[in-house]
Amino acid sequence: MTGAPPCAGRPTIGVLALQGDVREHVRALSAAGATGVAVRRAAELRGLDGLVLPGGESTTIGRLLRVFDLLEPLRAAVAGGLPVFGSCAGLILLAADVLDGRPDQPLVGGLDVVVRRNAFGRQSQSFELDVEVAGVPGGPVHAVFIRAPWVEKAGDGVDVLARAGERIVAVRQDHLLATAFHPELTGDTRVHGLFVEMVRELRGAT
């Protein structure tokens, strides 16, 4: 660890708490060695070592980002290098572009991917599957996909970490990590562990 004091121990990682499965992410972060805190206001972004955009309804969260003046501060934070992990709706919000979304759906952006919303189908097609995730040791991750998106197109700077069948379902680009599935739902905290490690490395280096 080259870590500076704030991150050498337990980094503080926010979970965007406008809507979605916030509590599950906070708990997974705590189990993975970080302190998770719910974030609802732009002022609460200050002092965070990282941020999670949770699962939820991306159109709802996007609209609330705009209503509560969080969209621009979040874009600035991502551009400024804040490590961010998005699951499902969080992946959509981080994407540069979304297919099958609403035309006016606000995105945070930053991740050079095009995602397709609800790509795996409606709820009756939601599924569980073991997937190998690059960078996560200890065997496959049991992944839960709920009306899940997939990554339709990934830019050159994007590492593909996992696929379900042919489809890209986990990616990393510099300080941004995203999954189409919900590691926060299974009790296996290795993906959160990967993110906490990213946060330690990136924040320790600055």
Partner 1 sequence: MSEDLTPAPSVATAVPPAGEATAKTAGEVGTARVKRGMAEMLKGGVIMDVVTPEQARIAEDAGAVAVMALERVPADIRAEGGVARMSDPEMVTGIVEAVSIPVMAKARIGHFVEAQVLQALGVDYVDESEVLTPADPHHHIDKWRFTVPFVCGATNLGEALRRIGEGAAMIRSKGEAGTGEVSNAVVHMRTIRGEIGRLAALPGEELFAAAKELRAPYDLVAEVARLGKLPVVLFTAGGIATPADAALMMQLGAEGVFVGSGIFKSGDPARRARAIVEATTMYNDPEVLAKVSRGLGEAMVGINPTELSAADRYADRGW
Distance CA 136, CA 195 (A): 10
DSSP 8-class letter at 34: S
**Cβ-based nearer residue to partner 1, 24 or 112:** 24
**Cβ-based nearer residue to partner 1, 35 or 186:** 186
Site for partner 1 contains 144 (CB under 8 A): yes
Stretch that binds partner 1, among 4-12, 77-85, 118-126, 172-180 (CB under 8 A): 118-126
Question: Which residue of the set 184, 192, 197, 201 is catalytic?
Answer: 184
**Cβ-based nearer residue to partner 1, 20 or 110:** 20
Cα-based distances in Å from 77 to 12, 82, 155: 15, 6, 21
Site for partner 1 contains 24 (CB under 8 A): yes
Distance CA 76, CA 145 (A): 30
3-class DSSP state of 113? strand
Distance CA 118, CA 35 (A): 31
Query: Site residues (CB under 8 A) for partner 1?
Result: 17-24, 27-28, 31, 40, 55-57, 59-60, 63-64, 67-68, 88-89, 100-102, 117-118, 120-129, 144-147, 164-167, 182, 184-189
